[in-house]
Structure 1
Amino acid sequence: MKRNHTIVLILCGLSITTQSHATNGINLIGYGAESTLMGGADTAVARDTSALNTNPAGLAQIKGRLFDGYGSLLRTTDLAHKDALNDQHADNRYVLLAGGGYAQQLKSLPCTAGIGFFSQGGAGAVFKHIKTPFGTDDEMSSLFGIAKITPGIGCQVTDNLSIGGSASLIYASIEQKFFYHTPPTASFAGFKNKGADTIRFGFKLGAQYKLNEQWTLGASYTEKTELPLTGGTAKFNFGASGIAKYDKLSIKGFALPREVAIGAAFKPNPDLLLSAKINWLNWADAINDVTTTWRETSSTFAPASTVSVSQQDWHNQIVYALGAAYAYNDKTTLYAGYNYGKNPVPKNNSSALLAATLEEHITLGFARKLDETWKLTSGIEFLLPKKVTYDSPLFGNNTEVRNEGFFLHLMLSKQW
């Protein structure tokens, strides 16, 4: 495979830029409906089971028992790759995410404990008909996903101060396919990777402090979690020579970043809640060099192992979030939010498989009490259009990636 190594490196560089319609890097802007519909300005507000993944100190606000179940449907309206030969929209236009949680106030302690499931980020881009530089029409795709199971606890330490913590069992997986059906050349062989995944542990700490009846401050810390993807297999298409299968595939260099968030919530009157958050994400330490290793093949025409190292060099990111909740009446609450985070990906490391290029989000929604225990929360999140033009070693100068879409969010809650 030595003669094909150059293009393999380029293709790996394209592939490991993960696809996540989340767009605070590879994180969603919020978790659960209220968090998201307030633009992710949740650190000083967190008051449902999504607090497990935003600020676990907020669990202390939950009295009795609370169940939340939510789903989100993404519709991409312009996730596209453009170069001299192509102007293609991704074939997977819809992505469904789901999650939920349960929390219960403890009888013997001033604490509330809970457990939740969260889609942390990741979705995927599949381009089935890319006109390749080799004169063929072939597939280019990368599917990456991260999910969490998160137990946690929040305690009311004093009348004004609550603290909390949560631990996460994190699962991540990736699959990739690049021009697999294109005949090989002296510098190219198509390949597909599948089955690489990992399970790792992470944690989050948080605090909320109520200054007075109007002001609440919040802060949270999330530790970095490395995500070495192993246990996969791969196939390379060497044309007349045959298909080389590698029984051991690993992709290392991904991580969820260390995060520090601070927030403030202001309640000028009983009906209106305003919230703001600043979140620092340490992407520069989380995604740098990504190393793909293929090992163990019985094919005599292929090397026993091949290693590809792709520089990503992500920048740190500061996310600014603003949110509002207005109690229209005893049964209905209206939400609005705005979220901005500068794209952490260096321009020339961009890819059509990378949705981290998105920067701005606007959210609108509502919550409606159905009866004494049930509540429905729903709304829309607009992913404002973003375009990046960059020079690609494979597709040429002035290659373009565009991204735009919207989420529909729905959450059903029961408190008793």
Structure 2
Amino acid sequence: MKPSKSIFYLTPLCALLAAGSVHATNGMLMEGYGPISTGMGGASQAIDHGNAGMAQNPATLGMMPDGTSRLDVAFGILGPDVKSSVPGMEAKSGGTSYLMPAFGYVKRNGAYTYGIGMFAQGGMGTEYAANSFMAGGFSLPARSELGVGNVIFPVAYQVNSNLTVGATLKFMWASLDLQMAAPRNELLGMMTGSSGKFAAQDLTNPLATATKARISFSDENDFTGAAKSTGFGASLGAVYKVNKDVTVGGSYQFKSGLDDMKTASSAASIASDGAATDYGQMTVIDFQMPSVFAVGASWQAQPSLLLAADIKYIGWADSMKSFKMRYDSSMGNGSVSFAMPQNWKDQTVLNLGMAWKANEQLTLRAGLNLADNPIPDAYVNPLFPATVKSHVTLGMGYKVSEAGDFNASLTLAPSETVTSGSGVTISHGQTNLQVMYSHRF
């Protein structure tokens, strides 16, 4: 990740302009979308939390009053704190502050609710300095920046006074920057095939005499990565009002259908200390965002107190088995394929939240977001430390007029420390803030 940059992204509270990378906290997914849901621990399946519903359970969009429209304008600050160390050396990631403006629009007309939104679905990344041990002796930064965004077209339909169903169609895009150094034996261990000079058993092989090597592709753009792809996604959801106080809901987000990410023909490189730098094209093969199944309930325990709970099952095992790349030289040296084993586990996330209406203007929120770490320690990589587990969230809403209100949330994620199979100890914590103004008309 590039430090101190602006990320135009749509939190599920609204829509955003463009997507960069985000330091996600439930694996590669955010702990919550929009300050209403996030302030309640990320609970979203059976509560009205504004336009963010299009990114979680689209049926909740139908909970807005008939004949009304809603516009959300939001701003967030994502604050990851990542450090990696080996005995005697420590490297701190320079990506510590990410700005996130956002907006969105939804309208209800009779039984139908519809709108449009853009948002950053998730991502991960780090940036280590050129003089850190992570640079591998190349005196160049070691970094990663993965971002996945969506343009969402949601629709919800009120079947009867109790049941509402919803669906979304998503146009998706993904991008990746990667600058990674490794000892030659580690790089050779990741190779799954080669051709041309990369397969030669003599000095024509650019890696033949190397003791270390570096893979690099980066466009140095704050909002995109050098390797890019597009594709589609979809989700289904439902909300059922059991009685005047109890609501249940559920949704299913399908695994994404992204094309392979590709750089320009000469935008990637492989360098070593034993040969001249080779330039070519890098293809990231079959990278996909996971399926997500979620169910939840809300209870209006008192006129001033709302309680909510969700449980989510994220299908990482199907989408993050291995990180595969193929490099094709534009200099006539052939090609080489790599595979970085990931073996992520499916992840269960528990969202618990409450909202207390202190008076007609002020609502206070609090919640917990509890998850296991989907990455086995043996496979965690300092460039992709998506290891945060527990989150404490706080939030508030203030009604500034009959048509407008202001909402904010704060997430505190205590640092989690793991040691990778290569002996690197990685710690990762976060402090995240979101604010939003909503106008109804």
Task: Tell me the TM-score range normalised by the shorter chain.
Answer: 0.7 to 0.9
Whether the 8 Å contact between 2:113 and 2:157 is mirrored in structure 1 is yes
Q: Which residue among 380, 386, 396 is the counterpart of 1:350?
A: 380
Query: Displacement of 1:271 after TM fit?
Result: 0.7
Q: Deviations over 1:19-61 (max 9, x none)?
A: 8522211011211111111111110114411111111111111
Q: Which residue among 302, 305, 313 is the counterpart of 1:269?
A: 302
1:70 aligns to what?
74
Whether the 8 Å contact between 2:248 and 2:296 is mirrored in structure 1 is yes
Q: Deviations over 1:324-357 (max 9, x none)?
A: 1111111111111100110111111112222320
Whether the 8 Å contact between 2:73 and 2:104 is mirrored in structure 1 is yes
CA distance in 2 between partners of 1:31 and 1:132 (Å):
32
CA distance in 2 between partners of 1:186 and 1:241 (Å):
7
Q: What is the DSSP-based 3-state SS (H/G/I as helix, E as strand, rest coil) of the residue aligned with 1:79?
A: strand
Amino acid in the other structure paired with 1:87: E
1:250 aligns to what?
283
Q: What is the DSSP-based 3-state SS (H/G/I as helix, E as strand, rest coil) of the residue aligned with 2:368?
A: strand
Tell me whether 1:366 sits opposite 2:392 in the alignment: no
1:42 aligns to what?
44
1:51 aligns to what?
53
1:403 aligns to what?
428
Q: Which residue among 266, 288, 295 is the counterpart of 2:321?
A: 288
Amino acid in the other structure paired with 2:84: H
1:116 aligns to what?
117
More moved, 274-283 vs 130-139: 130-139
Unmatched runs of 5 consecutive residues or more in structure 1 = 1-18
Query: Displacement of 1:412 after TM fit?
Result: 1.1
Q: Which residue among 331, 334, 337 is the counterpart of 1:307?
A: 337
Query: Displacement of 1:218 after TM fit?
Result: 0.4
1:166 aligns to what?
168
Amino acid in the other structure paired with 2:72: D
Q: CA RMSD in A?
A: 2.1
1:412 aligns to what?
437
Query: Displacement of 1:238 after TM fit?
Result: 4.2
Tell me whether 1:317 sits opposite 2:347 in the alignment: yes
Whether the 8 Å contact between 1:325 and 1:336 is mirrored in structure 2 is yes
Amino acid in the other structure paired with 1:414: H
Q: What is the DSSP-based 3-state SS (H/G/I as helix, E as strand, rest coil) of the residue aligned with 1:122?
A: strand
Amino acid in the other structure paired with 1:270: P
Q: Which residue among 319, 331, 337 is the counterpart of 2:367?
A: 337
1:126 aligns to what?
127
Q: Deviations over 1:127-185 (max 9, x none)?
A: 013226965644211011111111111111111111111111111100011249x9986
Query: Displacement of 1:316 after TM fit?
Result: 0.6
Percent sequence identity over matched residues? 29
> Normalization by structure 2: what TM-score?
0.83
1:12 aligns to what?
none
More moved, 308-317 vs 114-123: 114-123
Amino acid in the other structure paired with 2:76: S
Amino acid in the other structure paired with 1:375: D
Equivalences, count: 385
Whether the 8 Å contact between 1:43 and 1:264 is mirrored in structure 2 is yes
Q: What is the DSSP-based 3-state SS (H/G/I as helix, E as strand, rest coil) of the residue aligned with 1:348?
A: helix
> Normalization by structure 1: what TM-score?
0.88
Query: Displacement of 1:306 after TM fit?
Result: 0.8
